[in-house]
Amino acid sequence: MYKSMVSAATSMNSTETTKTLIDTITVPQGVKKLVGVGVQFMGGTAGLTTLENVGGIIELESDDMAPWGGTQQFLTGAVAVVTSGAAFIPPYIHPTDIPCTPGAHIKVSCTMDLATTINNKCRAQLVFE
């Protein structure tokens, strides 16, 4: 049986390319592994005057999950945004097979590839089995 956890939509610091914590997700009870990781970007075009690229790296970290093995990184989708459109990257779930500990905490962060002028928001999805 799969259990899916989705974070809140968090505003990204669009003017920088620094790592931003999206959310900390608690591993649900009754699961043994993380089988999917996804991210969704949302943004508008207010103030957009040129073509901008939206994309980045999603990063998972845990301090209290014994079999974790360190930081895990995944690519996000990417899109070029123009003044007549909004930033939309269809969610993609990266398949994984990472052992996990119920009750542990996974910090989900995102680092944008390029600074942008639009107000991106980012949401993460973790799928457990």
Residue 92 domain boundaries: 3-8+18-118
- Kindly state whether residue 123 falls inside one of the protein's structural domains: no
* Residue 101 one-letter amino acid: T
- Encode pLDDT of 65-109 as tens digits: 876 767 899 988 776 666 655 555 667 899 999 999 999 999 999
Whole-number Cα distances in Å, 100 to 59, 75, 129:
16, 21, 10
Residue 79 contacts residue 26 (beta carbons within 8 Å): no
Question: Dihedral through CA 29, CA 31, CA 34, CA 35, nearest 10?
Answer: -140
- Kindly state whether residue 128 falls inside one of the protein's structural domains: no
Number of compact structural domains in the chain: 1
In this prediction the pTM is 0.82
- Kindly state whether residue 62 falls inside one of the protein's structural domains: yes
- Kindly state whether residue 129 falls inside one of the protein's structural domains: no
Longest dimension (CA), the chain: 49
Parallel, antiparallel, or unpaired for β 105-112 and 52-54?
A: unpaired
